[in-house]
Amino acid sequence: MTLYLSTNGPLHRLHPLTKLTWLLAVLAAALLGPSGWLPLGLFLVAWLLAAWGGVGRVWLGRNGRILLPLILMLFVIHGFFNPNGQTPLLTLWRLTLTQEGVAYAFLLSSRLATIVGAALLLLLTTHPGDLLTALTERGLPPALAYIISSTLYILPQMQSKATAILQAQQARGLETEGSLWRRARALLPLLAPLVLGALVDSEERAIALESRGFRVRGPKSSLVELPDSPGQRWLRAGLLLGILLLIGWRVWRLFA
């Protein structure tokens, strides 16, 4: 249900925080670093890493589905309508493609591609549970970890419940097609049982958690151990240093 692919490549075996720090470093480089070809270079690095990690094809497909509509519209809107466009490149009918507009569309597209590419690298190769365990070990409140993993657990249940309610109401003669007014009227008979049922179910979970010491303070032990290595610790420290240097460079440029 999540983006995670349960294959076993070299990227899967890395510590989740190593991949998360990489994502943060790419985010900093794309947003704060020098523009030009650097973002696109980082996108290609992510592609190589994805291929090395054995998720290259899925990575490329996901990227395409998320990015292509955005990039297409960026080039149409900024290429033809950017208010700062001065230098005409070519004219189609009454629309003029400008150099400034294309350059701006290229800048934003390469930034977005870099960030989405790096995020997909993390999401495709890291089980959400492992990421949460790693973050909890570093001080994320366990309550937050509970909320996130509980959401991932309830979601498929609630989706099948919604389908069941839809079919049951259709069997009773509820019309879910036709004019807008008819479709809008179908909303309430679908929502009411779903929402009210879900709220009432949650009360039982609260009692179950309370009776198992969920709110007890103090250290808690974890069932899962995540493998880490000195090399990865050094890599993370280096990436964090790089991020700080980038921020420092930006701030310095602001005043210099």
Footprint on this chain of other proteins (rule: CB under 8 A): 1-3, 66, 69-70, 72-74, 76-78, 80-83, 104-105, 108, 112, 115-116, 119-120, 123, 128, 143, 146-148, 150-155, 158-159, 162, 166, 176, 180, 183-184, 186-187, 190-192, 194-196, 198-203, 205-206, 209-210, 214-215
**Can you tell me the distance from the alpha carbon of 118 to that of 247, in angstroms, rounded to the nearest whole number?**
19
Q: Which stretch of DSSP H or E encloses residue 39?
A: helix 38-52
According to DSSP, residue 141 is labeled -
User: Phi and psi for 231 in degrees, rounded to 5?
Assistant: -55, -45
CB of 199 to other proteins, least distance (A): 7
Residues 6+ apart with CB under 8 A from 223: none
Q: Which is nearer to other proteins, 159 or 229 (CB)?
A: 159
Q: Which is nearer to other proteins, 77 or 245 (CB)?
A: 77
According to DSSP, residue 126 is labeled S
**Can you tell me the distance from the alpha carbon of 96 to that of 94, in angstroms, rounded to the nearest whole number?**
7
Structure tokens at 229: 């290595």
CB of 51 to other proteins, least distance (A): 19
Residue whose entry in the numeric block shows the structure tokens 């350059």: 103
Q: Which is nearer to other proteins, 180 or 223 (CB)?
A: 180
CB of 62 to other proteins, least distance (A): 9
Q: Which is nearer to other proteins, 203 or 225 (CB)?
A: 203
CB of 237 to other proteins, least distance (A): 25
